[in-house]
Structure 1
Amino acid sequence: MHGPVTAAWLLVALCGVTGTYCLLRMRSGVEEQRRAAGGEALMGFGMAAMAVPAAVFTPPRWAWPVYAAVFGATALHALWAARGGPRHLHHLVGSAAMVYMAVAMSVAPPAAHHAHGGTGVPLLTGVLLLYFTGYVLLTGARLVPAAAPAGGTAPGGWGDHPEVARACRLSMGIGMLAMLLAM
């Protein structure tokens, strides 16, 4: 994406670490945790790859349609999963945002990847910025009152800490905001 190189590397690190933790969460004994962790790992690694500074690596033109296809399939999966409850709608919005950014990068000429040619923020970018800002604020507020579990013992495995999973979702929401702002 665009923006300062230091911020891009921080975003790569944040999303890469989050994706790695989500892979570890896939070993959870809780089935719902495992299912959510796979999609979140894909999102984390996809965001990390997309955030690599263009000065270091510029993906070939064919990479952006591949990103769009992968995250389009992820969006369809989230849409299908949303039949069972609204908790999958955030994954749908995140995947759609990734498709949007991949399409925007594929149609923009290489020189446009470094500067905006228009005035203002495109409507869809603004809507996504509002959504992810609200998501980050709400998720952050949910982390603040995290109470210790009854009995003083925490759940066992890597994937069985819901507060860490929420923190990962929060970090990916912040990363999505940074990527949308850099468009």
Structure 2
Amino acid sequence: MSGWLLMALCAITGAYCLLRTRSDAGEGRRTARAEALMGFGMAAMAVPAAVVTPPAWAWAVYAVLFGAASLRALWFSRRSRHHLHHLVGSAAMVYMALTMAPGGAAHGGHTGHGVAATAGGVPLLTGLLLAYYTVYVLRSGARLIPVAAGGAAAAGGGGSAGGSWAARPELALACRLTMGMAMFAMLLTL
């Protein structure tokens, strides 16, 4: 049940990010596209293997897709620090795809969850990614807490002032928080 909930949460988050691409422009649109890709990719990877076992080639597709997303995030990180987070996220997705692939470090994909890999560096890398996402989730969650009535409007938490619900900065932050928690949960299963 938790796998289906994680999948649904990631898919809904990806769909909202896709909607944001229509209301944002420039850098905001690029960010929303990257976050939509991450949401849909996480949803696809979170499908419980007991119900739908992905074909062996799917993990290679995930690795190539998120490898390309990593290169894109690296390129755009020259302009925005937030793209460094996308770089870490895309690289984590490549790592998970390679680890979950049949014959990967987890030996058997989804069915190998909970089996500690003995390959050098895998537990360390997983631990570093878990630490990164712990800090990211805590920081994102703290940014959602209203400061004060005057501070909320200055922080983008004020009324929508005629803007659409897709352009609300607090919803975008909530989506980032959701994907950070989902990534943490997926990394825990390695």
- For normalisation by structure 1, the TM-score amounts to 0.89
Q: Distance in 2 between matches of 1:170 and 1:62?
A: 30
**1:80-110 deviations in whole A, cap 9, x for unaligned?**
0011132210000000000000000111433
Higher relative contact order (CA 8 A, sep 6+): 1
- Indicate the residue corresponding to 1:54 in structure 2: 49
Offset at residue 10 of structure 1 (A): 1.1
Match status 1:75 vs 2:70: yes
CA contact (8 A) 1:24 1:158 kept: no
- Indicate the residue corresponding to 2:166 in structure 1: 159
Q: Distance in 2 between matches of 1:176 and 1:74?
A: 16
Match status 1:40 vs 2:48: no
Match status 1:113 vs 2:108: no
Give secondary structure in 2 for the equivalent of 1:33.
helix
Bigger Cα displacement from structure 2, 140-149 vs 60-69 = 140-149
CA contact (8 A) 2:6 2:46 kept: yes
**Percent of matched pairs sharing the same residue:** 62
Aligned Cα RMSD in Å?
2.0
The match for 1:102 among 91, 97, 105 is 97
Match status 1:179 vs 2:186: yes
Q: Distance in 2 between matches of 1:78 and 1:166?
A: 19
Q: Distance in 1 between matches of 2:97 and 2:135?
A: 23
Q: Distance in 1 between matches of 2:125 and 2:113?
A: 20
Amino acid of the structure 1 residue aligned with 2:39: G
Q: Distance in 1 between matches of 2:96 and 2:24?
A: 34
Amino acid of the structure 1 residue aligned with 2:131: L
- For normalisation by structure 2, the TM-score amounts to 0.86
Any unmatched runs of 5+ in structure 1? 1-5
The match for 1:25 among 16, 20, 23 is 20
CA contact (8 A) 2:117 2:123 kept: no
Any unmatched runs of 5+ in structure 2? none
Q: Distance in 1 between matches of 2:44 and 2:34?
A: 15
CA contact (8 A) 2:8 2:43 kept: yes
Offset at residue 13 of structure 1 (A): 1.0
Amino acid of the structure 2 residue aligned with 1:172: M
Q: Distance in 1 between matches of 2:23 and 2:177?
A: 20
Cα distance, 1:170–1:101 mapped onto 2, change above 3 Å? same
